[in-house]
Chain A
Amino acid sequence: MIQTRFMRETILPQEAAPHRTSGVLLWVRENLFSSVTNSVLTLLSLWALYATIPGLFQYLIVDAVWSANTGKECLAENVGRPVGVCWAFVTSHMGYFIYGQYPEAEWWRVDLFFAAEALGIVWLLWPNAPYKFAGIIYFFVIFPIIGFVSLTGSTMLGLTPVATNFWGGFLVTIVISTFGIVVSLPVGILLALGRRSDMPIVRLVSVIFIEFVRGVPLITVLFMANVMFPLFLPDGWRPDSLLRVLVGVALFFAAYMAEAVRGGLQAIPRGQYEAAQALGLGYWRMMIKIILPQALKIVIPNIVNNFIGLFKDTTLVAIVGIFDFLKTIQASLADPVWRAAGMPFAAYIFASLVFFVFCYGMARYSMWMEARLDTGKRH
């Protein structure tokens, strides 16, 4: 007889509850104590944090000296308690760090320049901002004119001229990096197009320029700008020392921008070129209307990463005697009034914080943009 149906007659014993698949304890066990080595590493890290964080907090904030007029007033024997960082050094030099020796009555012009720049950057980098093309015109044509006029001054508009040797501090750092990006991006695009051109001489010139510049350190280019450029010019022409450095920095970064843009150009499928040509577009119209908008969009993260490098490398101009942000800090450290033990720590920690905030912010933007453009999947 074949059994045709089955019915369980006894109730099965209850099983143990399943392992937890979520919860804090489980997360801790899986991520921090999954093996012996892991547990040791976790404990070591916790110990390192315990050993450094409270001390740093004490040194940087609790024990810090916030107001003083000389370096001596920051010393423990004069304060009467253990002292940490002398932030008074930073707060009392803030104006010098931002504006250099720019006359104080004219600081509003520098602020105007900063504001005009911020507007342009937000306009260009915020993906949903309207009138993108107008933004490009603003940043690469109108803003440089505003910046130039407001910073150097113009007697016609009633602005007192301020010579560039009075410029300094963060202003110069921003001027160099802005000039760098405003000039090096267009030049870099031209070089990238030249490197992919059908014309052998144009290609050769672009390749030689790009590879030569990328093969030498920035500091040698700055020396070249500083001591060789003046020799190339007729005797009467004495180009401004800041201008020489600006040109050197811009040409240096143009080569790096060219390589970033070339990556974008190579990523555009052939069909796009062929379709544009089939529509009867000439070379420049094809590039401006079809290829470059797509190519540049892909390489925005690379361009931003290059810009981070440019921003960090502006510090090198100090070596050829330009008073940028870092150089003003160095100069203040040499001031005998403020000379005291521990002062370099205050200065360099402050400078590091400033650079970190800017560079890390840009890096996060570039990562966010990369995720948005989804170019990460191409790797």
Chain B
Amino acid sequence: MSSQISGSHATAKVVFYNDPKFRSRFAQFVLLVAIGLFAYFAYENTSENLRKRNIAQGFGFWDVEAGFDISQTLIAYSAASSYGRAFWVGLLNTLLVSLVSIFFATILGFIIGILRLSRNWIVSRLAGVYIEVFRNIPLLLILYFWYGAVLGALPEPRDSLAIPGDIWLNNRGLLVPRPLIAGDILYTVAALGIGILGAYILARFARRRQAETGERLPVGWISTALIFGLPLLVYLGVGTPLGFDFPEKGRFNLTGGLNLAPEFVAMVVGLSTYTSAFIAETIRAGVLAVSKGQTEASQALGLSRGQTLRLVVVPQALRVIVPPLNSEYLSLTKNSSLGVSIGYPDLVNVFTGTVLNQTGQAIEMVSVTMLVYLTFSLLTSAFMNWFNRRVALVER
């Protein structure tokens, strides 16, 4: 039985088109040729079409005068500014509305998620209704609802609705106190930086000390004092350099304050309510992912309810929550492109909308806009990879 099987099998001639290696190379070759042909076809047609329609190519337009106004600008901009400047205005508006919405969506989402987990039947059901309603309605409809139905039904400025904290609401938007920097605020900012740095060093020191001696330091209290107390002391010490310009109600109109446009308010409310439903589900899934045995084990070790939550459940839940939470933030940023539908001057509205209409250079505008969002998405996934590596379970 030990006789050798003759080598005929290894050297048997396979017809070349049945050879897997040949097949794989051939398939890839065909794919490459097809893509190449399509690219050539598209390139030829595009350059011909552009020539016929007299549309310029390249990024020469970047420094050309834009000639249109933008309703909300974070940096100095006027109709005399360049298209390139308009791009930055749009990008900053996208970032502003995304960051503000992320802030509110996170707070709202955490609250709803925790209420959904509550053992109180009625509270949990109400949170469930909120989640289902906002998850099952298109974002665009939610934006139209807030913008067209709710903000559109608000009274004229002379009958503005007052909200506690010197905030006024009318059909021209939301009027909030405008922060004014009256003196030297730099010291306070520096104190905040020092406080955060100090808290970080303290946390590292406390962790090493606990690992060595088992003793726990009251890190939480000291950090709070460092981060909030220190800047407050400095702020008061240098003579409260920050003031507010409060909106004043006249007979017909409101003066002063900072007027947030209705488009901006509708975007923030719409994006936050919509995304908070998804965040709430993320939070719930994360907390439920921590097995019950963990809670029981920590109770058996004699930890209090608060300690169980703080030291055992939350750290493990966060590992599950952070990656999907980041995807929610990313999709919120991408969803902010819907600003174009209600006239919020975000990147898509300014660049793929107005600038494209004026110059006709579709390829440049769409590519630049896509590139911006791709960059956001790459940065997010880079962060997620870093985070996953950091918190990955080290198994024995």
Residues of A bordering B, CB below 8 Å: 31-32, 34, 38, 41-42, 45-46, 48-49, 198-202, 205, 212, 214-217, 219-220, 223-224, 227-228, 230-235, 308, 312-313, 315-316, 318-319, 326, 330, 333, 341-342, 344-345, 347-348, 351-352, 355-356, 359-360, 363, 379
Neighbouring A residues of B139 by C-beta, 8 Å: 312
Tell whether A344 pairs with B52 under 8 Å between CB atoms, given A223-B352, A232-B46, A356-B133. Answer: no
1/0 contact string of B132-147 vs chain A (CB within 8 Å): 1101111111001100
Other-chain residue from A42, A212, A348 in contact with B123 (beta carbon distance below 8 A): A42
Tell me the bound Cα distance from A292 to B53 in angstroms.
48
Partner of A201, one of B31, B118, B334, B378: B31
Question: Chain A residue with minimal CB distance to B380?
Answer: A215
What are 8 A-B contacts defined by CB distance under 8 Å?
A: A32-B120, A45-B120, A49-B126, A199-B28, A212-B374, A234-B45, A352-B141, A355-B141
Residue of A219, A232, A315 touching B141 (CB-CB under 8 A): A315
Asked, given contacts A46-B122, A227-B356, A235-B48, whether A215 binds B374 with beta carbons under 8 Å apart, the answer is yes
Quick one: given A32-B122, A356-B133, are A216 and B374 in contact (CB under 8 Å)?
Answer: yes
| Smallest Cβ-Cβ distance to A27: which chain B residue | B121
Bound complex: CA A45 to CA B373 (Å): 41
> B79 an interface residue at 8 Å Cβ cutoff?
no
* CB of B337, distance to nearest CB on chain A (Å): 4
Decide if B389 is an interface residue (CB 8 Å cutoff).
Answer: no
Known: A198-B24, A315-B141. A228 touches B378 (CB 8 A): no
Out of B31, B42, B138, B376, which one reaches A312, CB within 8 Å?
A: B138
In the complex, A342→B319 CA distance in Å? 46
| Chain B interface residue bracket vs A | 35 or more
Q: Are B144 and A348 in contact (CB under 8 A)?
A: yes
List the 5 closest A-B pairs by CB distance, nearest first. Answer: A215-B377, A359-B136, A344-B149, A227-B362, A217-B334
Residues of B within 8 A of A316 (CB): 140, 338
Counting CB contacts under 8 A, is B370 at the interface?
yes
Question: Which of A227, A230, A342 has the most chain B CB atoms inside 10 A of its CB?
Answer: A227
Does the CB pair A219–B340 fall under 8 Å? yes
Given A32-B120, A216-B374, A359-B137, decide whether A201 and B49 contact each other with a Cβ distance below 8 A.
no
For the complex, would chain B's binding face be called helix, strand, loop or mixed by DSSP majority? helix
Q: Which among A202, A216, A379 has the highest number of chain B CB atoms within 10 Å?
A: A216
Query: B362–A220 contact, CB under 8 A?
Result: no
Q: Which of A48, A49, A201, A235 contacts B32 (CB 8 A)?
A: A201
Q: Does B247 contact A (CB under 8 A)?
A: no
A205:B149 contact, CB within 8 angstroms: no
Tell me how far the C-beta of A251 lies from the nearest C-beta in chain B, rounded to whole angstroms: 13
A217 and B348 form a contact (CB under 8 A)? yes
Which residues of B in the span 332-375 have a Cβ within 8 Å of any Cβ on A?
A: 334-335, 337-338, 340-341, 348, 352, 356, 362-363, 366, 369-370, 373-374
Per a CB cutoff under 8 Å, which of B32, B120, B363, B376 touches A228? Answer: B363
Nearest A residue to B50 via CB reads A231
Residue of A nearest to B136 (CB): A359
A326 x B120 contact (CB < 8 A): no
Interface residues of B in 19-41 (CB under 8 A from A): 24, 27-28, 31-32, 35, 41
User: In the assembled complex, how far is the CB of residue B369 from the closest CB belonging to chain A, in whole angstroms?
Assistant: 5
Least Cβ distance of B305 to chain A in Å? 11
Q: Residues of B contacting A217 with CB < 8 Å?
A: 334-335, 337, 348, 373
CA distance A349 to B122 in the complex (A): 25
Q: Is B152 an interface residue (CB 8 A)?
A: yes
B373 x A31 contact (CB < 8 A): no
Interface centre among B42, B48, B138, B363 (most CB of A within 10 A): B138
Q: Which of B212-270 contact A (CB under 8 A)?
A: none
Could you tell me if B28 and A201 are in contact, using CB atoms closer than 8 angstroms?
yes
Q: Given known contacts A201-B31, A212-B374, A217-B373, is B138 in contact with A318 (CB within 8 Å)?
A: no
Q: Within the complex, which residue of A198, A223, A319, A348 is in contact with B148, where a contact is CB–CB below 8 Å?
A: A348
A38 to B378, CA, bound (A): 44
- Tell me if A231 and B137 are in contact (CB < 8 A): no
Contact, CB under 8 Å: A228 / B138: no
CB of A216 within 8 A of CB of B152, answer no
Is B162 an interface position by the 8 A CB rule? Answer: no
Which residues of B292-338 are within 8 A (CB) of A? 334-335, 337-338
**Residue among A205, A217, A347, A379 with the highest chain B CB neighbour number at 10 A:** A217
Contact across chains for B140 and A326 when beta carbons are under 8 A apart: yes
Return chain B residues, CB-CB under 8 Å to A46. Answer: 122
B137 with A330: CB separation less than 8 A: no
Residues of chain B within 8 A of A308, CB atoms compared? 136
The answer to whether B120 touches A348, judged by C-beta atoms less than 8 angstroms apart, is no
| Least CB separation from B366: chain A residue | A224
Once A217-B348, A224-B366, A319-B341 are accepted as A-B contacts, the answer to whether A348 and B119 lie under 8 Å apart by CB is no
Q: Tell me whether A199 and B27 are in contact (CB under 8 A).
A: yes
Q: Quick check: A205 and B31 within 8 Å, CB to CB?
A: yes
CB neighbours (8 Å) of B201 from chain A are none
Whether B123 and A41, one on each chain, are in contact in the complex, defined by CB atoms closer than 8 angstroms, is: yes
By a CB distance below 8 angstroms, the chain A residues around B45 are 231-235
Q: How far is the CA of A333 from the CA of B145 in the complex (A)?
A: 12
Q: In the complex, A45→B130 CA distance in Å? A: 13
Please measure, in the bound complex, the distance between the C-alpha atom of A201 and the C-alpha atom of B32, giving whole angstroms.
Answer: 8
User: Is B289 an interface residue, CB under 8 A from the partner?
Assistant: yes
| Contact A31 B338, beta carbon cutoff 8 Å | no
Q: What is the minimal beta-carbon distance from A58 to any residue of chain B, in angstroms? A: 18
Beyond A32-B120, A348-B148, 20 extra complex contacts between A and B, CB < 8 Å: A34-B119, A38-B119, A38-B120, A41-B123, A48-B126, A199-B28, A202-B27, A215-B374, A217-B335, A220-B369, A223-B348, A231-B46, A232-B42, A233-B45, A235-B45, A316-B140, A319-B341, A326-B141, A330-B144, A344-B153
Distance (whole angstroms) from the CB of B264 to the closest CB of chain A: 18
State whether B136 touches A355 (Cβ < 8 A): yes
A352 close to B27 (CB less than 8 A) = no
Q: How far is the CA of A366 from the CA of B373 in the complex (A)?
A: 31
Across the interface, do B120 and A31 meet the contact criterion of CB distance under 8 Å? yes
Contact A215 B373 (CB under 8 A): yes
